[in-house]
């Protein structure tokens, strides 16, 4: 198996140790391999392996769906890919940094609406998440965190629960703090898209939404995918009108949602979160590298650390292939 490891020795200093063939300092899905990698770090943190084509993944989505249009498209892709995902639950999370205390309810209500339109209401549990964490190592109690704990305890290290965090990490981090025993049963994919600042710092919306929660993820033993791409996943309004709107009730709902806000209709509007789900369906869409898990300061700067093992960083998504996968899947 070919592996690239980046060991953070400081905020901007990185040493590269290579075994096998390397393409431009990154590794393809085939190069990373299909077996979970155990970190050489004393913590023995597992590095998530990209899922193989024959796997059907137990999945929970933790999303601030009412914040942005891209969550709706990402969740719809997961709902349509029943051959790939065994959807076990969804958690509605906050986007409190601008929408205030009722943002969780907004996400919950929109999530219910999408599930009703798509014919998935009642198919699996959905729950409200909690408010942003206020103190380090102190969980925020919520139905959402409890749901993650319950589902993770039904999983196992050999058949883990994939938790895709498309918003603030409050609920997933709180679940880990409430029940540290679930960590080997998890594979956490956190949408942290801020590649232009990596590896020095991050200014990403999901990180800012609950910095303590992200610190918790990074410092935990939960196997972590740092999803650091998706900015270029744009599509013109005329194209979703022509291709998506005719695809039944779900397609019509997704396209018409672009009329909710002027920025949703722009040709430059990013559908960032689609990338996380698309990568789980086909990891060859992106480049990957195994990196030392950094510490995150409250100033949003990364600090080199070898105390928290390693994680899988995903970058440079193939935009054309991702949209092809999206439309092919929804057309089934």
Token duo for residue 179: 């029940």
Give the confidence band of 21 by pLDDT, cuts at 50, 70, 90: very low
Q: Is the pLDDT of residue 15 over 70?
A: no
Q: What is the pTM of this model?
A: 0.89
Report pLDDT for 307. Answer: 82
Radius of gyration of the chain from its Cα atoms, rounded to whole angstroms: 19
Q: Is the pLDDT of residue 23 over 60?
A: no
- Rounded CA-CA distance 116/112 in Å is 6
Residue 295 host element (H or E):
strand 295-296
Token duo for residue 132: 């942003």
- Rounded CA-CA distance 150/99 in Å is 29
- Rounded CA-CA distance 138/26 in Å is 36
Residue 47 host element (H or E):
strand 46-47
Mean pLDDT within 154-158:
98
* pLDDT tens-digit readout, 301-319: 999 877 899 999 999 999 9
* pLDDT tens-digit readout, 110-130: 999 999 999 999 999 999 999
More confident residue, 3 or 186: 186
Report pLDDT for 44. Answer: 81
The torsion region of residue 309 among left (phi > 0), alpha (psi -120 to 50) and beta comes to: left
Report pLDDT for 32. Answer: 52
Domain ranges of the chain: 58-234+270-285+315-330
Residues 6+ apart with CB under 8 A from 166: 61, 62, 63, 64, 65, 70, 71, 74, 75, 191, 206, 273, 276
Report pLDDT for 16. Answer: 29
Return the half-sphere exposure (C-beta side, CA atoms, 13 A cut-off) of residue 244.
24
Top CATH class, 58-234+270-285+315-330:
alpha beta
């Amino acid at each position: 198996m070919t592996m690239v490891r980046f060991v953070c020795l400081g905020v901007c200093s990185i040493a590269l140790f290579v075994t096998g063939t390397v393409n431009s300092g990154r590794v393809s899905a085939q190069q990373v391999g299909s077996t979970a990698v155990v970190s050489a770090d004393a913590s023995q943190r597992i590095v998530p392996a990209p899922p193989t084509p024959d796997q059907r993944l137990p999945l929970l989505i933790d999303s601030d769906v009412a914040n942005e249009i891209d969550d709706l498209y990402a969740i719809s892709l997961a709902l349509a890919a029943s051959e790939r995902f065994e959807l076990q639950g969804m958690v509605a999370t906050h986007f409190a940094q601008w929408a205030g205390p009722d943002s969780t309810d907004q996400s919950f209500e929109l999530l219910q609406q999408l599930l009703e339109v798509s014919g998935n209401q009642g198919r699996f549990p959905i729950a409200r998440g909690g408010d942003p964490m206020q103190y380090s190592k102190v969980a925020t109690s919520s139905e959402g965190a409890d749901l993650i704990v319950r589902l993770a305890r039904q999983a196992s290290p050999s058949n883990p629960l994939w938790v895709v965090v498309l918003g603030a990490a409050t609920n997933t981090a709180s679940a880990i703090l409430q029940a540290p025993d679930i960590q080997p049963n998890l594979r956490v994919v956190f949408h942290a898209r801020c590649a232009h600042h990596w590896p020095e710092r991050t200014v990403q919306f999901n990180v800012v939404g609950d910095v303590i929660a992200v610190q918790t993820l990074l410092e935990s033993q939960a196997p972590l995918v740092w999803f650091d791409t998706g900015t270029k996943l744009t599509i013109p309004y005329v194209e979703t009108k022509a291709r998506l709107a005719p695809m039944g009730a779900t397609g019509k709902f997704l396209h018409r949602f672009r009329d909710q806000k002027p920025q949703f209709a722009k040709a430059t509007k990013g559908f960032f979160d689609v990338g996380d789900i698309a990568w789980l369906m086909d990891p060859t869409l992106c480049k990957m590298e195994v990196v030392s898990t950094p510490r995150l300061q409250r100033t949003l700067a990364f600090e080199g650390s070898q105390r928290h093992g390693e994680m899988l960083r995903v970058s440079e998504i193939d935009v054309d292939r991702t949209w092809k996968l999206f439309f092919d899947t929804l057309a089934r």
